[in-house]
Chains A and B, each alone.
Chain A
Amino acid sequence: MARINMVQAINLAMDEMMAEDQSVVVLGEDVGVDGGVFRATEGLFAKYGEQRVIDTPLAESAIIGTAIGMAMGGLKPVGEMQFSGFSYLMIPQLEGHGSRMRARTMGQFSVPMVMRLPYGGGVRALEHHSESREVFYAHMPGVKVVIPSGPRNARALLRAAILDPDPVVFMEPKRSYRAFKEDVPDAPETMEIGKCQVVQEGTDITVVAWGAMMHTARKAVAEIEKARGTSIELIDLLTVAPMDSDTIAASVRKTGRLAVIQEAPRSFGAASEIIASINDKALMFLEAPAKRVTGYDVVTPYFGRELNYIPTVGRARRGIEEALDF
């Protein structure tokens, strides 16, 4: 049992997989000698060498395009986009090829590849270092989008992502990288991709969040429970796509109320998809309109104004209470 933060957990998952499986390679900008700008690949270069920990020339489209080829050629590439804001050059390769190679070839070729994307706001960084654009990738059929919220699930999900037979976009909430530590077991563990996790059972309302918003949601939930003795069921989404709407619907059928906390802009987001799935699967169980607490539909402002745009604990609490008090 070791007590580590999320960056260390991500590093550990890659280290474990590289030790176990020679076909796992890591590639990206500054991932080698430098150990990654967030130090997520620290030590891997020294341990596994430059053939398996590859400092690429500066070209994001080339990183993913090469990774797609590597994956079809029998490797298991783990690519790093330095920041998700630079990942949009992945889109032509991922939408055009990576996501559909299995379907296109009727299963003959597959692309077992992971692309890691540090994402999300709140770290006082420059432009393009603050956005949450998980739905860009979630909207591509054939792509799995996974977002851990803490060290333990980050390690287990990244391992699962590397073992997964399909392309996984693994989005890491950088605000949570060093925010807190957790105990992780000595032996490697996996969590199932495509499943959310009920982290706390309750009966009065279902609250769903993911990434850094899990931390915000936990605080809001604790405040409400303390103030009013409410019993809240808290769900960590973990996989955005394909979405485990069955687990969320089962929870809503029990609680009758739903609030979703999302960092990304409001419209066309994962929260909308969650609520639409409740419309499909549990509408008649709702006792109040489902509530979204989200970012706004504006270009993410520079960090001088950024914090006001990210849902706060107070906003999350008021949103949950609105659904409770309807």
Chain B
Amino acid sequence: MPLMELEIGRVVSLKILDEDGIVDQELDPKLKKTDLLEMYRAMVWGRITDERMLKLQRQGRIGTFGPSTGQEASQVGTMHWAGDNDWFVGAFREHATRLMRGESLERQLLYYNGFEEGNLNEEGSHPRNLPISVIVGAQPLHAVGLAYASRLKGEKDVCALTYMGDGSTSEGDVHEAMNYASTWKLPVIFIVQNNQWAISVPRSKQMNSRSIAQRAVAYDMPGIQVDGNDVLAVSVATREALERARRGEGPTLIECVTYRLMMHTTADDQYKYRTKEEEDIWWKRDPLVRYRKYLTDRKYWNDKKEEELHEEFKAEMDRQIASFEARTEFKMDAAFDNVFGTSHAVIEQQRAEFLSESTKEDAHG
């Protein structure tokens, strides 16, 4: 038997808008103005609320969270073409995506202040948003299950978009999810925000692979690497993946090459393991700056509109923060409400004990 080369998939890398805001004329998808501006709004809203949350955390007004600044193009571009029936199965650093799925800032603040109310899909937000998943790499399997359920129920055009980071691709569950999705040709999009760092571990120590996108080859599904700070490239790649999924052609892996411009979480000090100089390089690749230039060049945007947008958003932020801080009454025995669908005597006996004990002013050890 002769030695034969196996024909396996290829992996491409896509960039449309470079860091100076220069667009590749051939690749420019020439999206409609409304789409372009909608994405820009979502990116700005994600950025400025993230920045404000960092301030709130430093003032002790919310707890620990993982800032998403710098990843807005990846977070917005991947969700822009998704519809009402598609599932959003996120990790814990998709702040801008959560907001564009109709979740309020107030809800994020509740979550990061330690209240499960922050997980409730409020009116106006998407019923097909799964809550934040803190455990790294677990949720892609849920996306596989959701996609399977949709297909079995005969739901048309439903895709599950699941998000993870570069570090999570080292977890077995992530590989298992890709294998299942590909084997069953399920409508799942695996979106890896490769932000270069898993807390202190750089991508180069996380894996020997030259790209994350190439892992799709192992499962014989399309995989593409995109400049994750280029919202045009991100959105085009995701639109194609969605179209494939809706045609019944199975999953796609999209690696968005981006950067976590801030600390892992507010409990982390990134200068223990990386330099300010490295961050400066990536600040020059800020997804917002290049995109604003693109929009300005097309006369879709100008300084006055920018100013107005910030004023509008600032007022909205202030309103939602005030609303969040006005909430002081929380049902203290809420944890007893949802242990089971129908409660059990053991739980209710303990609830009574809890309520009785809660009336007492006790110190902790």
Contacts and interface: CB of A to CB of B under 8 A. Distances in A.
Contacts of B363: 219, 312-314
Contacts, number: 141
Interface string B91-114: 010000000000000000001011
Contacts of B334: 301, 305
Q: A30, A61, A128, A310: which has the most chain B beta carbons within 10 Å?
A: A30
Nearest to A92: B172
A169 to B, nearest CB: 19
A299 B272 contact: no
Interface residues of A, number: 53
Contact of A55 (B134, B200, B336): B200
Contacts of B353: 296
Contacts of B200: 30, 32-34, 55
A30 B346 contact: no
Nearest to A300: B335
Given A58-B167, A305-B115, A313-B363, A35 B267 contact: no
Nearest to B273: A33
B168 A296 contact: no
User: How many B residues are at the interface, by size bracket?
Assistant: 35 or more
Interface in A55-72: 55, 57-62
Nearest to B136: A58
A313 B336 contact: no
B210 interface: no
Main secondary structure of the interface of B (DSSP, over half): loop
Given A37-B268, A55-B205, A309-B335, A127 B134 contact: yes
A62 B170 contact: yes
Interface string B145-171: 000000000000000000000011011
B364 A302 contact: no
A35 B201 CA distance: 11
A305 B332 contact: yes
22 contacts: A30-B200, A34-B273, A35-B272, A55-B201, A55-B205, A57-B205, A58-B167, A58-B168, A60-B171, A62-B170, A62-B172, A86-B135, A128-B134, A216-B364, A266-B350, A301-B334, A302-B116, A303-B63, A304-B115, A309-B354, A310-B364, A312-B363
Given A267-B346, A302-B116, 12 more contacts: A30-B201, A33-B273, A86-B135, A216-B365, A218-B365, A219-B365, A266-B350, A300-B335, A302-B111, A309-B354, A312-B364, A313-B362
Interface of B: 63-65, 92, 111, 113-116, 132, 134-137, 167-168, 170-172, 198-201, 205-207, 267-268, 272-273, 330, 332, 334-336, 338-339, 346-347, 350-351, 353-354, 357-358, 360-365
